[in-house]
Amino acid sequence: MPASRRHHRALAVIVNCLGVLAAVPALPATAPRAVAAPAHPAPAAPAQRATPIPTGVPAAPPAVAPTKAAPIQLSTPPVTVAVTAAGTPAPGYRIQVRNAGNSMVETTVRQELPTGARATTVTGGGRATTPIGSTGANEVTWRLRLPAQSTTTLHTALSTTTQGRSVTAPACVYGTDGTRPYDCATATWTGPGVIPAAKVAAAPAWRRPPVLLAALTAALVVVVGGLWWWWRRRRQRAGLAPGGPAAASAGSPAVAGGAGGPADRGTVYPRPAMPAVAGRRRTPPVWLMVGVAAAVLAGVVGAAAWTATQRVSAIDTAKQPTSGAWMGRSVSGALGVPLREAAFEFTVYRVACGAANLPMARPGSRQCLATVGVRNLTPAEQTWHGQLQRAYLPGGDWVSTDEDATQVANLGRDVFAKPVAAGSRVLLPLVFTLHGDDPPKQLELRSGVFSAGVRVDVP
């Protein structure tokens, strides 16, 4: 082997060795080999636990399916109540309380009376109570001991100062604490001489924007079609339409052959044919195009102005401001009247304020408990929030739901943490903490931020 080749090989070996030595510090530190496990391992002591071998890589968390809060549903209560209106000349109600359990239950039944109503007849040992500062009783209370598998029927009769109107009086059955409702029901009395509340009639056809737009479009089509037919007829009469006199003369054999008439036949130098007058394609008249455009513009502007006028006239300036009331209209009603909004149907059965009703009230404040029924009218679960439920004071101020006190009143259950199941109904108390002696005048309940919600007048 020549000396030059031996030198080249030696130099290559030295370079490779230097490269290997330089790469050794950059290699990652390897964990020591695990000692091979014996074929028959000895059992570990009870107090001794296996320690995982460190690998330098964090252990992956176990695969756990994401949990979703189960919707809340109203379970069948042990005591139920049903209220029906009596067919008497004066407002009267029949209240049936049923204990479907196998043991005796002590309950408290409360029937709310509307403003200006007074109880004239109360059966079953009931008692009409009058709050301080009021001239009439606002509720009738019974304390009952219901035997197992029994039904108790109660009757009440009222006299009102507002004649000729329907009267709604809801009733609820509570537990021994008087705050947690088992069940609630409502009924509206309408006597023979009482004119029922007028139903909201649909607007006439000529006042509906879609109908107006359709009628305007049809009128424009008829007008344009008539003008186009009239224009075509005018062209045919003037001889400009296809098949008219001018076209016939242009396509006649005499003109095509170059003869000007019978006297020119057989001449050596015939007269050249007259060029046919080509039918000029005419565009619609300017006045027609301008008229159609003006009519369409007037229709669009009129429909927009009508819609804006209806939206503005639907605004009630006497209402308190709401947050994001964008879906639907705000519906108002009294206690015991089911009120529907975008997703829920709310029914407020009772509103009670004072420390006697809520022992969890904090010093320096007063709490009001509202017994509310919520029915989900949509085919999907609906989530609602406590900050959207408000109690309005006479001065215009409002307070949101006291979620901590509401959770205590619901036996530690957070009613706003779980959605309401589709098509289900829940009955629960809501607590509002007030500062001052003025009771709330109105409750505002809504399912979402973009819902107009409902408003319930508190007597």
Which of these ranges, 156-170, 181-195, 349-363, has the smallest mean pLDDT?
349-363
Residue 162 has pLDDT above 90, yes or no: no
Residues 6+ apart with CB under 8 A from 172: 81, 109, 110, 181, 182, 183, 184, 185, 349, 350, 371
- What lies within 8 Å, CB to CB, of 288 at 6+ separation is 227, 231
Q: How is domain 79-189 classified at the CATH fold level?
A: Immunoglobulin-like (2.60.40)
Q: Are 420 and 290 in contact (CB under 8 A)?
A: no
Say whether 331-457 and 79-189 share the same fold. Answer: yes
pLDDT band at 279 (very low <50, low <70, confident <90, very high): low
Residue 215 token pair: 């009628």
pLDDT band at 311 (very low <50, low <70, confident <90, very high): low
Average pLDDT over residues 163-191: 88
Segment 59-106, tens digit of pLDDT: 444 544 555 666 666 567 889 999 999 988 889 999 999 999 899 999
Over residues 220-247, the pLDDT tens digits come to 777 777 777 887 777 777 765 445 555 4
The encoded tokens of residue 120 equal: 């004239």
Residue 457 DSSP symbol: E
What is the architecture of the domain spanning 331-457? Sandwich (2.60)
Q: Where are the domains of the chain?
A: 79-189, 331-457
Q: Give SS3 for 309.
A: helix
State residue 432's pLDDT score.
Answer: 94
Q: Give the pLDDT score at 93.
A: 96
Our CA angle for 253, 257, 261, nearest 5°, is 75
* pLDDT 10s digits, 438-458: 889 999 999 988 888 999 999
This prediction has a pTM of 0.59
